Amino acid sequence: MRKKLVVGNWKMYGNSIENEQLLNSIVAGLTGLQIEQCAVCVPYPYLPSVQNKLNNTNISWGAQNVSQYQKGAYTGEVSTSMLNDFGCTFVIIGHSERRSLFGENNDIVAEKYVAAQGGKLTPILCVGETLEQRERGITEQIIQEQLMTIINKAGVESLSKAVVAYEPVWAIGTGKTAAPNQAQEVHTFIRNSIGTQDMTIAKELTILYGGSVKANNAAELFAMPDIDGGLIGGASLVADDFVAICNTLNN
């Protein structure tokens, strides 16, 4: 059976004091969840303290980006082995903010995906269309291109060690969630499209939905047959909301 998962993406928010409070409440609120059903992806400087806090809990952690290079003169970059040093399980790859604000195209995203897997991290590969692309009716084409660059570079079998997150760009941080059936439609497309290459991998693949998931809409989204959990931005910074969203997985 494929795994269900909720991942918090803290983005560039938080500080030592706020993080400590947030993590205390999350750990206390999530005692009933199975291991690896819930994770937080945090800014690099907080990885040591997050590791300290979450070690021996049922919550995993990871980063929001990683370099495609192993080491070298790459000022400001962080490698997969550095993330290994702090016990990361996951790394978000190709988030739309990385694509649109930091120039990460499909090829760079694929290089980072390969680097992550080579470094024994589980990539959470983000795909999704902009509003303009949806209105032009090219959502499936865009997502197909995003997936195919990965499959061409890393092989379809690489998806057995990855998580995919469908995040319509128009729903991220806007309060506009995709309707459950609208999201389900794209999740089915993603699963079928991978299924044409390998049905077993497609069936086992965890596909998260991301984009304004909140405590009050998580249940109806996660009830969709091809939505296996969520990638949560804003609501992952509010302990009660994040705990409620994670606990939705067990309902």
* List 121, 127, 154, 231, residue binding ligand PGA (CB under 6 A): 231
Judged by beta carbon, residue 6 or residue 172, the one nearer ligand PGA is 172
The smaller minimum CB distance to ligand PGA, of residues 86 and 209, is found at 209
Asked if 237 and 22 touch (Cβ cutoff 8 Å), the reply is yes
Token pair of 200 as six digits: 């077993």
The residue within the footprint of ligand PGA, chosen from 213, 221, 239, 243 (CB under 6 A), is 213
Catalytic: which of 97, 104, 111, 167? 167
Rounded Cα gap, residues 94 and 179, in angstroms? 23
The stretch near ligand PGA (CB under 6 A) out of 102-110, 136-144, 193-201, 206-214 is: 206-214
Q: Of residues 20, 95, 97, 111, which has the active-site annotation?
A: 95
Binding to ligand PGA by residue 232, rule CB under 6 A?
yes
Helix, coil or strand: residue 66: coil
Provide the H-helix boundaries in the chain. 16-29, 47-54, 80-85, 96-101, 106-118, 131-135, 139-154, 180-195, 199-204, 218-222, 239-248
From 21-29, 105-113, 152-160, 211-219, give the range in contact with ligand PGA by CB under 6 A: 211-219
Nearer to ligand PGA, 42 or 201 (CB): 42
Long-range CB contacts (within 8 A, 24+) of 160-163: 160/201, 160/204, 160/205, 161/117, 161/122, 162/113, 162/117, 162/122, 162/123, 162/124, 162/125, 162/205, 163/5, 163/7, 163/90, 163/122, 163/123, 163/124, 163/125, 163/205, 163/206, 163/207, 163/208
- Judged by CB under 6 A, the chain residues 122 through 181 that form the site for ligand PGA are 167, 172-173
Tell me the site size for ligand PGA, rule CB under 6 A. 13
Q: Is residue 95 annotated as part of the catalytic site, yes or no?
A: yes
Residue 64 CA to residue 218 CA, distance in Å, equals: 22
Single residue of 233, 239, 243, 246 touching ligand PGA by CB under 6 A: 233
Report the nearest approach of ligand PGA to the CB of residue 249 (Å). Answer: 16
- Work out how close the CB of 5 gets to ligand PGA at its nearest, in angstroms, rounded to a whole number: 13
Residue nearest to ligand PGA (CB): 233
Task: Check residue 234 for interaction with ligand PGA (CB under 6 A).
Answer: yes
If residue 13 lies in a helix (H) or strand (E), which one and from where to where? Answer: none
Give the active site residues: 95, 167
Residues that bind ligand PGA (CB under 6 A): 9, 167, 172-173, 210-213, 231-235
